[in-house]
Structures are given as structure tokens and as C-alpha cells.
Chains A and B, each alone.
Chain A
Amino acid sequence: MSQVSETQLPGVGVRHDFQTHEGDRIGVLSHRTGRRELLLYDRDDPDACRAVIHLDIEETHTLSELLGGSKVSESVAAVQQQVEGLAIDWITVSAGSAYAEATIADSELRTRTGVSIVAVVRGEQTVPAPGPDFTLAAGDVAVVVGTPEGIATAFELLQG
């Protein structure tokens, strides 16, 4: 993945930008309100934008679908922006774990660690917001959200 730099814009939102192989600098400004601006920086004046495209929430989804972006990583990023002190991680359920073949409800992961499973990636397939009766399998990648300490505990449980 390209080196993405993040800049907080107080009162406005957050800006991410990176350099393409051809030397263009591209950025995305995510407003707090949810609308986005797609930025293309000027080569002569690298501080300014040559083109700015305004996108509402729906247009952002359309564009990211066309570009092949996944909705999971996007919504996870949105959660991360809103809540301070929140950590997100990807944990692979190991075959030896007591949680392989257990439902999310049975695992009591949230009760034990305070960590929630927001999505499960199984092979090519992604299950966003799995319900309590979703059965985890060895090899599943669980996308978890919680405090850094809770996630450390969850790591031990799911990989133990």
C-alpha cells in the first residue's frame, strides 16, 4: 500500500493524501458531515489543488465501489475517526482456539474482553456485522473493535 499521510483539520475533518507512481499527489478530505472532497494536487504549486471534486456520501460509495474499495474498511475507518482511544485489529482464528466452531454468542468475547466483532472475512467473502449466532471457523479473520487492552486479550483467546 502507498504511504498515506494523515492531516487533522480542526473544525472541518481529516485529510489523507499519497503520491502515485507517476508523481501525482492525490488526497481525500473527509468532512465531519460525511461529504468528501477528492483532491488532485498541482505539480507546479504542490501546496494547492489543481482539481477538487465534491462528493456526497452516496457518490463516495459509488466511487469506492468502482475503484474496488471495500465498505468494511471504510466504515471501520469512520468509527475510528469518531471515537478516541479506540483500537481496531484483524485477528485470525487459529485451529487450536476454543472459539473455532463456536458462535459469537457462545464465545462471550464481548463479555470477557469488551471487544466487538464488527466483521468476519472468510476467504474471498466478507460478512459485515455478523449476528450473535454466527459460527466462527478456523482461518476466519475477525475484524475487532475495542480498547487496546481488550484487543490484546482477544488475541490470546482467538489464537490460543
Chain B
Amino acid sequence: MLLAAASGDVALVFTELGLLVFGLALLARLSNRFGLSPIPLYLLAGLTLGDGGLAQLELSEEFIEVTAEIGVILLLLTLGLEYTAEELRSGLRAGLPAGVVDAVANFTPGLLGGLLLGWDARAAILLGGMTWISSSGVIAKVLDDLDRLGNRETPSILSILVLEDLAMAVYLPVVAVLLAGSGLVAGGLSLAVALLTVAVVLGVALRHGETISRLLATRSDEVLLLSVFGLTLLVAGIAQRLQVSAAIGAFLVGIAVGGQVSDRATLLIGPLRDLFAATFFLFFGLQVNPGSLPPVLAAAALLAVVTAVTKVMTGWWAARRAGVARAGRIRAGTVLIARGEFSIVIAGLGVAAGVEPALGAFAAAYVLVLAVTGPVVTRFADELARASARLRRPTAAADGARG
């Protein structure tokens, strides 16, 4: 009797899950066809299937939620794995000015926007984080697709992404403590503990990354995959218990693992991350009622335009510092427009803590706009550069005549 009921459940779960994942595959295929990121489509799928959407999922919320949480953890693990300790160190040394300009120019509009919307300060700080962090996933893909990795403006772009990566190591614990909302003294204490942990792990990773990697090193892909995945979940769990946030724990594991192990782990974790992260974006969409989108749409679109402009200015400035000409500066600026996975991760923290009811819908609308327009705009960067040169030429000629 019990067995029969259970097998009925399993049949239902498998069918629904299969349809869901297959649906996500179709969406990913569609977005690949147009050279776009699949994230906006996953979000839209979530919106359609969630509360107030066209259809309702029967799947247990709990199952999807755990899967989505693992998705966040794997996204941050791969973010940590992406750069070697040496790259972080030299990135920090060489790219700090650009990183500061990036932070000021792109965090401020989100923060002010949140305050103007009448949100509480914590929600505004989250919105600042969402507008600040570009999508390194989308940008890496766009640079590769458009054959721009060899271009001379590319190091400036990558160095901004490295700095954003490092900044997340400080931003996430601060946000985690703010969201825990445990008074000034307790909050200050746990913030100190969190930042100290981050500093210690970063220090150990930068100095002894090779040792950690040697401990994990193995010939077998299976052993490596299980070790890295297990270690990440374990550290994420401990970090969550210490109120440092699971995400930052996973990120620190990624930073601490270095060298060749990190390259192999990236290849092994990649497919796993794609699976779980797709569920995470879907889950984020599921939590947003499509009915709550229209009221925030105008504000989100306005903020998207403003923060697209500030990102273009950031990229322009960084590329100019590296001695890149106008066309390259426009390419660098426009490619940075794309926001994606990390804006959703940051918003997800706020939605889970329930700081601002409109945050989820706002984040979904904002990312939908910029994850789609960013890659499209940068495709036409060279045309933009030519158009702006044509606009400039008459004045330049006039200057020449005068001189």
C-alpha cells in the first residue's frame, strides 16, 4: 500500500522533472541559436510556471528549493575556481583603480534607486550589488563567440571581472550579516568573524594554494569530482551555520583550490553547475508572481538604462587607461553591460530573507532586460564606434580649419 503510493509519487516526480528539464534544454537550445544567454529564458519559464502563472507545478517545492540552493553554491564555487591565486594577486595590484571606478559608478545607481523607491536600506544595498556585478558567465561567452578574446581591450575587461570577483568576497558576508539583522553588537561581531574568516582563507589560498591542491590531487576524475563537491557542500554548510552564508563558503573553497586541480575541477563541475544553476534560475522565477512585474517594470527598465550607461563609461575608462583606441573602448564598455547570474544570486539572498516584497520581481525584470540587451548591444559596438566617429568628424575638421 505504502509502496504503491510511493511508486506513484516517483512516477509523477520523474515525469514532471523530465518535462521540466527537457523544457529547459529546449530553451537553452533556442538561446544558443541566437547567441544569447539562456538565463532570461529560464527566468521566464519560472515566471510562467509559478504562483499566478499559466500552469502550476506539482513538484514538491522543497525538492526544487534544495536543488536551487545547490545551484547557487556551484555558481559561486566556479566563480572562485575561475581565477588562480596568482591572477587574483596581480589583478588586485594592477586593476585596483578600475575596480574602484567600477564599484562607485555601478553600485551607487542601484543603491540610490532602491532608496528612491522607498525600500529599506538593506534592500537598497542588495540592489546596488545587483547593478554593480556584471555577468562573468555571459561576458566570457560573448567574448568567445565574437572572437574578441585576443583583442587588446580584453585584459581591461577581464581585470574588472577579477576585481568584482574579489569584491564579492567582502560584499557577500556584509550582506549576510545585514540580512541576519541581529542587532548592532551581535551583527558587528559576526561581521568581524565573517571578514576575518574570508581574510584568513584568502591569505591561506594565496600563499598555500598549491598545498591544498596537492592534498586534493588524484588521477581519478571521479574522486576529484566527489572530493570537490563534498568539500564545497561541507564548507557551505558550516559557513551557513556560522551565519557567513553558504554562498561565500563555496566561493572560498573555489579560491582555495588552485593550480592544475582547479582547471580540472572547473571542467568536471561545469556540467553539474549548468544543471543545478538552471534549476536555480527557474526557482527564482517560480517565486515571482508575474502579476507583480508590471508595477516595477518602468523603474527596472530605467535603472537598466542608467546602469548600462555607467558600465559603458567604466569599460571606456578602463580601456582608455590601457591605451586602447575609441572603437576598442566602446567594445569594452558595451560588453560589460550584461548582468546575470550574480545579480540573481544577490537578489535571491534578499528574497529568502524577505526584506522587500518587490525585490524579486524587480530583479527578474532588470536581469531580463540587461542579459538580453547587453550581448546584443556589444555585437554592434563597431557600428556604434563608426557612427560616433562620423558625429565627431565635422567638429574635428572645424578644429583643424581653425588651427
A interface with B by C-beta (< 8 Å) = 7-12, 15, 27, 29, 32-33, 37, 39, 45-49, 52, 82, 84
Contacts and interface: CB of A to CB of B under 8 A. Distances in A.
Contacts of B86: 84
B328 interface: yes
Given A49-B147, A49-B150, A84-B86, A7 B328 contact: no
Contacts of B161: 10-11
B260 interface: yes
A14 to B, nearest CB: 11
A52 B150 CA distance: 8
7 contacts: A8-B155, A47-B325, A47-B327, A48-B152, A48-B331, A52-B147, A52-B150
Contacts of A8: 87, 90, 155
A11 B140 contact: yes
A30 to B, nearest CB: 11
A32 B140 CA distance: 14
Contacts of A9: 149, 154-155, 158
Nearest to A83: B259
Interface residues of B, number: 33
Contacts of A7: 155
B151 interface: yes
Interface of B: 82-84, 86-88, 90-91, 136, 140, 147-155, 158-159, 161-162, 259-260, 263, 267, 324-325, 327-328, 331, 382
A10 B83 contact: yes
Contacts of A47: 151-153, 324-325, 327-328, 331
Contacts of B91: 10
B85 to A, nearest CB: 9
Contacts of A32: 263
Contacts of A12: 140, 149, 158
B88 to A, nearest CB: 8
A60 to B, nearest CB: 15
